[in-house]
Chain A
């Protein structure tokens, strides 16, 4: 552990070429945190006075208890390179001291929003992959996210120890496994071709892949071995690197390199011959306690052990020996320093992703050049609860300029529009703080390229924001983050004691701030709702709410609630008509389902209210077979003016139609938010206005007459078009050994899930199963699955799509009708649906 003061750390922060901001990303249980631990142990920075009595990564009790990471934690590492090892470094640098700001992120899919927040403020990513399990669903998700943010990845094939100890794999087989893991990762990375970022694929022979055993604290890249052998063989280090990977074989008998296996029993692949076998030999010798053989071997390798370490036996000895020989920190940190970009390098190409404004203004240039003298541009990516209850640190990254204590900053919130005053504050930074492990140290200022925590702005920053200098009124904000998961699981919370309500309200506000993904809302019925990405996420949020944000006041949590959507199956069986309250106006309408894929296109924003009508009609006619003219007659989208339903004008020659458009749209916004079945949002319905009869006198066709009528006729057309419910469905990915498959299928069947892909991972006894599972059935799914497979299967669920329930909600006694009734009951509505006759009028 490096002992360091805040002043010394602050000094390195100015060396923008010697900083690396990086996150550690991986699938759950692939060993991120363990690996991070081994790095921290060697190079973590800790303030002098507390050295020795804290463990840095152990931040939350529940994290330790569950063995998973929940919140991303930042840690700064200090590393001094030797001149020798830097001689091959081509990039810019100032001195040999390096500051590595590392963020350990959670791997469970429920917490991917934490990963998103971490990626935004880093430039590089260490992708950790379990050498046996390979690239998993979450590896893929986070990798795609990283590349989307233009984060350069390096890979480490982790849990090498399993190869040697648990599985006892032979060299060639192990090589094939590693090769496949790397290939799989490269397949994903190859899809992100980006001229500015360059080739992002990873190659062991270029040193961008490491092999590690986080648990035992050792790791190597081919560079380590190449250096060792280069002198021995008298060849160039780079040449040696290439020989240590791929189709290069060496036969010690002939002492010749070939590109093909000669078939001779002594001919082995370079990697196996020179990397795998020696490690295996050392490990086996240690494990068998053959110390007499061990010491000479170690001496040859130049490894010296302390005398007390020589007394160790078995595993402990092996661990110690490997750590001394191939320390994880050296291999990984050197890989990061060599192959991940410094802020100054990364911001050159990241500016396009980051900055919303014109890319040639002073702010864009300052970000591009990582200019400490330029205007301040700082992005706050998350709010971290401070030890002092109710307050938050604003945690983020300085992209240009400097942020200092007492500086007046302009806070641009997510809804800020340049030139307007909305969501904009000017406030002073009370304190700038840097994280020294668990402890925070105040510093005078923090220059660009670094992460920083700010005190005193928490009232004005909701979740994230862009900060700039007070005077910089022309600055545009930094683009908001896009999350890959959505909050689909909801529970209602209320306090046990009615008078605790203010506490609950306050707690919910704080909870909403502390987590990028959680959403706290209120239902029409007056219930407070907390929505999260998954069961686990929600569980953690509620725990935080009660214990940290409400001071332990008791809360009552309802069973999980899933929101549904209402849609239609067919076109309305007839044109329906409703009359206004004064009977003088009539609206005629029909409903029909939107074409397949169109609601998703609207969700993704490919089609929306703000499109150029020409572009929109092109997409609609080419992809969805719409009539070109019709595409121009879309009145609006809804609910919330952007939702996946629309109103289309099909009328011909109706007088005054323009007058009532706003009223019809208002009625539609209202109706599409609360469908006729059970007041859930509508989805995928197109309402066609077929005809309109209006009173000749404007006073009798005002909003009061038309808005309620539009709502009624929309309901009537929905009910005549075979209404159906849509339920949310998870994509579930499960990895398990063959013997657990039976149990998995059993549980999935019982939970209405269906498997659509089952693949054996090549070279492993593991199977990869992908299935769809209704969200409503997913509660308790993890635990049931674990019980049915004796803990061998661990599912990852991500919201995937809306699925239509085939049963007819209008048919009494059907499953959907029952569901509708339950939802209505929960919402405090009349249990019986309002009949069609209430909405439709007859001439």
Chain B
């Protein structure tokens, strides 16, 4: 029975029936794959043979996102997503999320929360990992009792799970003015000002926050910094996302597995500083690779376009690369890129790129880095949906002189955008032309082009390389006798065995 409730078989069946769909994809993360057949069986028992179920695993990108491309391979009409989810809006398919139910000792948790309340003089806001959403009601009632008995007048707020299913928003620019129009679409991390004057929204006045599937409303006069955030859950990407987004807040984490309260987050703070460094580094980049890290999250095409424009406006060159999960070996195949912008869902966006040849940054960081005159004020936006609506390009370019590079510790001059891009639209001959140009102005040392990032385009980089691929000149090549190659496996060829 526990299995039934953990995987919410009944609710899932109800969802599928209510939609009247006949082809459903069940998406499992790797760690839950072992239960997939059982889940499929149980569902089939409920639904009968009219509905075809497909199990999907090993997603190309993060397993927290809905794999719409995978689902469309089997023409699925909706997706049921199991396990940890980032709740990024989908672009074509409706999806149901089953978070699973992790065990939590509600009494111990309430105890810690109470303790927290008594120490802090700020109101406390309870946030949690979605896998603990099932226990929140219990926690609330337990806390009520506790607070009654101790007569504390501390304020306590809870966040709600926004929804457990997503309809495709059909997200495009036209819809942007009315993001609330489609019932339960979620704009992750977006801050919506809902005022009393609104007809549709008769809530008490307040600021509505949503983040990673949670939503809460704070009174208008309160800022997030006024709250103590109480997080229930493990130290996972969802938590990191929250810490970075609300980096100005006081945060404590209750670890449900160890029943412990933790409040040392110097590690996360360090990450923030590290990101700041990456932004500074990105400012020095000339060539930027845009890594497409999602093919599902709503609006990804739009943000890629926006990134391209942003980079071009800043006089830099961008290349768009689609690959699965980035790793050092894959990215090192593009040594000409000085920095990569990783367009993906909020919870996979942060890559610690220490092992990478070039750093990988998020779209928000790219906006900071490539908008001249813009400075980081401490705010941090993890999700790109929010970037699309946020004000970009409004910073007046007041400083046309040299830019200070903190990496080099001196002022450097940036390329002038108009000079560089005026006549160079993507054309089939662009590469050839650029190569020619690059060859002409090759009085810089090739070393600085190759290893100090002074190249302005891939072609210029190529021109500087000592090896540029197979040469086309076969004419006078002397004939060479054939040689016997190696045999065996790469771990040790046969002639190396002893």
Closest to A829 in B: B354
Chain B residues lying within 8 Å of A190, measured Cβ to Cβ, are none
For window 412-461 of A, CB contacts with B under 8 Å fall at 413, 415, 417, 419-425, 459-460
Chain B residues lying within 8 Å of A703, measured Cβ to Cβ, are 332-335
Whether A843 is near chain B, meaning CB under 8 Å from some CB there, is yes
Whether B465 is near chain A, meaning CB under 8 Å from some CB there, is yes
Closest to A528 in B: B406
Min CB gap A501→B, angstroms = 7
Measured CA separation A420–B440 after assembly (Å): 12
Beta-carbon contact of B404 and A502 below 8 Å: no
Chain A residues lying within 8 Å of B404, measured Cβ to Cβ, are 508-509, 512, 520
Measured CA separation A525–B281 after assembly (Å): 12
Chain A residues lying within 8 Å of B466, measured Cβ to Cβ, are 658, 661-662
Chain A residues lying within 8 Å of B490, measured Cβ to Cβ, are 579, 582-584, 695
- Taken residue by residue from 477 to 490, chain B's Cβ proximity to chain A (1 for < 8 Å, 0 otherwise) reads as 00000000110001
Interface-lining segment among B63-71, B169-177, B214-222, B443-451: B443-451
User: Given A640-B452, A696-B485, A704-B329, do A498 and B248 touch, yes or no (CB 8 Å)?
Assistant: yes
Measured CA separation A836–B410 after assembly (Å): 37
Beta-carbon contact of A521 and B407 below 8 Å: yes
Chain A residues lying within 8 Å of B470, measured Cβ to Cβ, are 698
Chain B interface SS verdict (over half): loop
Chain A residues lying within 8 Å of B450, measured Cβ to Cβ, are 662, 665-666
User: Given A459-B401, A520-B406, A666-B357, do A658 and B333 touch, yes or no (CB 8 Å)?
Assistant: no
User: Given A413-B413, A609-B445, do A524 and B332 touch, yes or no (CB 8 Å)?
Assistant: no
Whether B402 is near chain A, meaning CB under 8 Å from some CB there, is yes
Chain B residues lying within 8 Å of A413, measured Cβ to Cβ, are 402, 411, 413
Chain B residues lying within 8 Å of A531, measured Cβ to Cβ, are 409
Chain A residues lying within 8 Å of B393, measured Cβ to Cβ, are none
Whether A610 is near chain B, meaning CB under 8 Å from some CB there, is yes
Whether B280 is near chain A, meaning CB under 8 Å from some CB there, is yes
Min CB gap A842→B, angstroms = 9
Min CB gap A381→B, angstroms = 16
Whether B270 is near chain A, meaning CB under 8 Å from some CB there, is yes
Closest to A655 in B: B483
Chain A residues lying within 8 Å of B248, measured Cβ to Cβ, are 498
Min CB gap A362→B, angstroms = 23
For window 119-134 of B, CB contacts with A under 8 Å fall at none
The count of chain A contact residues (Cβ–Cβ below 8 Å) is: 68
Closest to B276 in A: A526
Chain B residues lying within 8 Å of A308, measured Cβ to Cβ, are none
Measured CA separation A581–B272 after assembly (Å): 30
Measured CA separation A659–B470 after assembly (Å): 10
Whether A523 is near chain B, meaning CB under 8 Å from some CB there, is yes
Interface-lining segment among B43-51, B141-149, B188-196, B371-379: B371-379
Chain A residues lying within 8 Å of B496, measured Cβ to Cβ, are 843
Min CB gap A840→B, angstroms = 15
Chain A residues lying within 8 Å of B273, measured Cβ to Cβ, are 525-527
Measured CA separation A584–B491 after assembly (Å): 8
Beta-carbon contact of A415 and B413 below 8 Å: yes
Whether A641 is near chain B, meaning CB under 8 Å from some CB there, is yes
Whether B399 is near chain A, meaning CB under 8 Å from some CB there, is yes
For window 516-541 of A, CB contacts with B under 8 Å fall at 519-528, 531
Kindly list the 5 A-B residue pairs having the minimum CB-CB distance in the complex, ordered from nearest: A526-B273, A459-B401, A462-B411, A704-B333, A522-B406
Instruction: Enumerate chain A interface residues (CB-CB to B < 8 A).
Output: 413, 415, 417, 419-425, 459-460, 462-463, 498-499, 501-502, 505, 508-509, 512-513, 519-528, 531, 579-584, 609-610, 636, 638, 640-641, 658-663, 665-666, 669-670, 693, 695-696, 698, 702-705, 707-708, 828, 843
Task: Name 13 A/B residue pairs within 8 A (Cβ), A-sorted.
Answer: A419-B443, A424-B413, A501-B378, A508-B406, A521-B409, A526-B274, A531-B409, A609-B447, A640-B451, A640-B452, A661-B466, A696-B486, A704-B329
Q: A527-B273, A579-B490, A828-B274 are in contact. List 20 more A-B contacts (CB 8 A).
A: A499-B377, A502-B375, A502-B376, A508-B406, A512-B409, A512-B410, A513-B411, A522-B277, A524-B274, A526-B273, A526-B275, A583-B490, A583-B491, A641-B451, A659-B467, A660-B467, A662-B465, A702-B333, A704-B330, A708-B328
